Chains A and B, each alone.
Chain A
Amino acid sequence: MKNTPLCALTALELGAALHGGEVSPADVLEAARERIRACQPENNAFITVTANSVPAGEPADGPLAGVPMALKDNICTRGVMTSCASKMLGGFQPPYDATVAEKLTRAGAVCLGKLNMDEFAMGSTSETSFYGAVKNPWDLTRAPGGSSGGAAAAVAAGEIWYAIGSDTGGSIRQPASYCGVTGMKPTYGTVSRYGLIAYASSLDQMGPIARSAADCAAVLDLIQGKDPRDGTSLEGSYGTLLRSLTGEVGGLKIGLPAQCFGDGLDPEVRRAVLAAADALRSRGAVVEEFSLPVMDYVVPTYYIIACAEASSNLSRFDGVKYGWRAEGYEDLTDLYHRTRTEGFGEEVKRRILLGTFVLSTGYYDAYYKKALQAKAVIRKAYDEAFQKYDVLLTPVAPSTAPKLGESLSDPLKMYLSDIYTVPLNLAGLPGISVPCGFDSQGLPIGAQLIGPALGDGVILNAAHAFQLETDFHRQTPARKGGAAV
C-alpha cells in the first residue's frame, strides 16, 4: 500500500488505512481536494464542490468512516444546492437531507459535493446538463455515460472513493460500464427514495458506484433499510452484504440470455462479456445459454412508463415553490408556461410531452395501459428465468462510450442503447455492472450480473468472485484528468 497513491485505493482499503492510522483524515481530505482541483476543469464531474473540513468530534466507526464521497445532484442535501443539472432548480437549497445522505453522514462519510448528471436524470450520456457535459476520464472526447455520468467519472478519476447515483433505466450501471468502475442498482425498495428528486417513481432506485463489488456491498450495508418516509421501501433487509462475500461461486447457475448477445452488440463487447462468463466458469460456476424472448419489448415499455411518470412528477416545477421563475409573464398560467418552457432543456421537454401523450384520452389504453401489461409479461419472463438460474449475465450496453455529441442528435438511437439495463427497473431486480475488459481503443467494457428480487448478495458475491479472478477493476485511466498520478 505504501507505494500506491491514495486515489488508486478502493474505498475499503482507504477506510482500513484510516482506521489503522496509516493515513490521517486531514491527509485523505487534502489528497481528494487536490485530485478534484486537477480533474474538474477537464471532466466536469462536479456541479458543486463543497469546502469540507475533517468532521469534528469522535470519528465514526465502520469500514467506510472518513472516506470521501459525493452524491449525484438529484439527491437532496440540506443547505447545499441540489439542481438536478437543470436551470429549473438553479440555486435550490433543500431544507432537508435525503435519507441516504443522513445515513451516510451518521456512518462518518465525508461528502465532497454534488455530481453532474443528465438534466433530471434524463439521458444516457450526461450531456444534457445545464452545467455542461461530463467527459469520460478514459478519453475526454467521449461521454461518460449517463445519467450518473459525473458519479462514474469522479470515481474513475480517483477524485472520490465512492458515489451515490440513481438508476431509473440504467443510470448507475451504464456510466459505471463506460468509465470502468463498479456500479450497482439494488432491488427496488431496499434503499429509501426519500429526498431523491423523482424522475419515474416506480423505477427509480439509488445505489453505489465504486471501484469494487466489495466497496458497493459496504456502501449498501450503510444505506439500505425500511424508511417510514418512503412508503415503497421494503420491510426487512438482505442482511450484511459485505460480510457475506466469500468469492465462492462453485455450482452457481448462471444464465446467458441469447437475445442479449445477438444483433446490435459490438463484437468486442460480446467477446469480453463471454470471457467474463468463462472466468466465472473457471471458479466453478455452471454457465448456460437460454432464451429470453421479451427483449424486443423492453425499451418501448420502459420509455412509455418512465415518460408517463416523469410528466406527472415534473409538474411540480412551476416557478412558484422553489427554483427558477421566468420573467415577463402576464398571469399565473403564463408564468407556468414561460417558466417551464424556458427552465427545462430539450430532452426533458421531449419526455414530458411523450409522457403526456401516452396518458392522454384516446391514447392511454394503446400506450400506457399496454406498457403496464407488457411490464407484467417482462417480469414473468424474468421470474421464470430465475426458476432455472441463480444469476443472469449480460452486457451492460451494446457498445463502449460514444463520442461527445454523437447521441444527442438521435434520441431514439440513444433510447435503444438502454436495452440491457431497463428490464431490471421494470422488474424491480438488482443488477451490478463490473469492468470486464477494454476494446481496441482502450475504452472500458462492462458486464452486468442480474439477480432475482432481494438477490443482491448473490450478484455481489458473483461480482466479487470475478474481481478476485481479474484486475480490470483496478485499472485506472493513465492520463491527466484520469486516476494516474
Chain B
Amino acid sequence: MKITEEMVDYISVLSRLRLPEEERGAMAAELERIVSYMDVLESLDTTGVEPLSHVFPVKNVMRPDRVVPSWPRADLLWNAPGHDDEAFLVPKAVE
C-alpha cells in the first residue's frame, strides 16, 4: 500500500494535526512501512466472520436514574487554559 504525502495531508486535516513540511515525507514513508506490514492480514481468511468489537457481550448498561450533584463548575473550569467564571473561552467561532 502506497502512502503519499497528499494522503498524509488529508489524514492530518481529519486529525487536526499539521505536520511541518520537512516531516511529511518521513511520516509518509514510516506509515507506508507500517501499513504494508499490516497487509499481512490479507492472507487471513475471514470469510463469514463477524467483526468482533467487544470481547464480552456488552448490552445496554442501565443504572438507576438518581439525581446526584454535578461536579462543582469551578473545579471543572480550573484546568481550562481559557475560562471566565462560568464558561470555557475560545476564539470566536461563529460570525
Partner of A202, one of B30, B54, B93: B54
What residues of chain B lie closer than 8 Å to A386, measured between beta carbons?
A: none
Partner of B46, one of A377, A379, A427: A377
- The answer to whether B11 and A370 touch across the interface, beta carbons within 8 angstroms, is no
From DSSP, what is the main secondary structure of chain A's interface residues?
helix
| Binary contact readout A412-427 vs B (1 if CB under 8 angstroms, 0 otherwise) | 1001000000000011
- The answer to whether A356 and B11 touch across the interface, beta carbons within 8 angstroms, is yes
| Binding stretch for chain B, among A23-31, A49-57, A177-185, A335-343 | A335-343
| Binary contact readout A352-382 vs B (1 if CB under 8 angstroms, 0 otherwise) | 1110110010000001011111111101000
- The answer to whether B88 and A320 touch across the interface, beta carbons within 8 angstroms, is yes
What residues of chain A lie closer than 8 Å to B35, measured between beta carbons?
A: 354, 357, 367
- The answer to whether B11 and A360 touch across the interface, beta carbons within 8 angstroms, is yes
- The answer to whether A372 and B12 touch across the interface, beta carbons within 8 angstroms, is no
- The answer to whether B58 and A231 touch across the interface, beta carbons within 8 angstroms, is yes
- The answer to whether A370 and B55 touch across the interface, beta carbons within 8 angstroms, is no
| Binary contact readout A294-329 vs B (1 if CB under 8 angstroms, 0 otherwise) | 001100110110000001000100111111110001
Partner of A415, one of B3, B34, B41, B79: B34
A373 and B31 in contact (CB under 8 A), knowing A300-B40, A341-B18?
A: no
- The answer to whether A379 and B55 touch across the interface, beta carbons within 8 angstroms, is yes
A301 and B93 in contact (CB under 8 A), knowing A353-B11, A357-B31, A411-B34?
A: no
Q: Does A189 contact B (CB under 8 A)?
A: yes
The complex places the Cα of A293 from the Cα of B91 at a distance, in Å, of 54
| Binary contact readout A21-39 vs B (1 if CB under 8 angstroms, 0 otherwise) | 0000000000000000000
The complex places the Cα of A167 from the Cα of B89 at a distance, in Å, of 35
Which residue of chain A has its CB nearest to the CB of B74? A95
The complex places the Cα of A144 from the Cα of B83 at a distance, in Å, of 40
Q: Does B90 contact A (CB under 8 A)?
A: yes
What residues of chain A lie closer than 8 Å to B38, measured between beta carbons?
A: 300, 303-304, 367
- The answer to whether A303 and B34 touch across the interface, beta carbons within 8 angstroms, is yes
Give the distance to chain A from B69, nearest Cβ to Cβ, in Å. 12
What residues of chain B lie closer than 8 Å to A319, measured between beta carbons?
A: 81
The complex places the Cα of A296 from the Cα of B41 at a distance, in Å, of 9
Q: Does A453 contact B (CB under 8 A)?
A: yes
- Give the interface size bracket for A toward B: 35 or more
What residues of chain B lie closer than 8 Å to A194, measured between beta carbons?
A: none
What residues of chain B lie closer than 8 Å to A228, measured between beta carbons?
A: 63
What residues of chain A lie closer than 8 Å to B15, measured between beta carbons?
A: 311, 340, 352-353, 356
Give the distance to chain A from B62, nearest Cβ to Cβ, in Å. 9
Give the distance to chain B from A341, nearest Cβ to Cβ, in Å. 5
Q: Does B50 contact A (CB under 8 A)?
A: yes
Q: Does A285 contact B (CB under 8 A)?
A: no
Give the distance to chain B from A325, nearest Cβ to Cβ, in Å. 4
Which residue of chain B has its CB nearest to the CB of A330? B91
| Binary contact readout A218-232 vs B (1 if CB under 8 angstroms, 0 otherwise) | 000000000010011
- The answer to whether B16 and A296 touch across the interface, beta carbons within 8 angstroms, is no
What residues of chain A lie closer than 8 Å to B33, measured between beta carbons?
A: 412
What residues of chain A lie closer than 8 Å to B14, measured between beta carbons?
A: 356, 360
Q: Does A40 contact B (CB under 8 A)?
A: no
- The answer to whether A372 and B78 touch across the interface, beta carbons within 8 angstroms, is no
The complex places the Cα of A427 from the Cα of B58 at a distance, in Å, of 14
- The answer to whether B71 and A337 touch across the interface, beta carbons within 8 angstroms, is no
- The answer to whether A325 and B41 touch across the interface, beta carbons within 8 angstroms, is no
What residues of chain A lie closer than 8 Å to B52, measured between beta carbons?
A: 372-373, 375-376, 379
Q: Does A444 contact B (CB under 8 A)?
A: no
Give the distance to chain B from A416, nearest Cβ to Cβ, in Å. 8
- The answer to whether B79 and A331 touch across the interface, beta carbons within 8 angstroms, is no
Partner of B93, one of A331, A354, A376, A428: A331
What residues of chain B lie closer than 8 Å to A301, measured between beta carbons?
A: 41
A354 and B31 in contact (CB under 8 A), knowing A325-B81, A374-B46?
A: yes
A315 and B16 in contact (CB under 8 A), knowing A377-B44, A412-B33?
A: yes
Given A301-B41, A334-B91, A376-B52, output 8 extra A-B contacts at Cβ < 8 Å: A93-B79, A95-B76, A300-B41, A353-B8, A356-B15, A357-B11, A370-B46, A373-B50
A residues near B, CB below 8 A?
Answer: 91-96, 188-189, 202, 228, 231-232, 234, 296-297, 300-301, 303-304, 311, 315, 318-325, 329-338, 340-341, 344, 349-350, 352-354, 356-357, 360, 367, 369-377, 379, 411-412, 415, 426-428, 453
Closest 4 pairs (CB-CB, A-B): A372-B51, A428-B55, A325-B81, A322-B79
26 A-B contact pairs sorted by A residue (CB < 8 Å): A93-B79, A95-B76, A188-B55, A188-B56, A232-B58, A234-B56, A315-B16, A319-B81, A320-B81, A320-B88, A321-B79, A331-B93, A332-B93, A335-B90, A340-B17, A341-B18, A341-B19, A352-B15, A356-B14, A373-B49, A376-B49, A377-B44, A411-B34, A428-B56, A453-B55, A453-B56
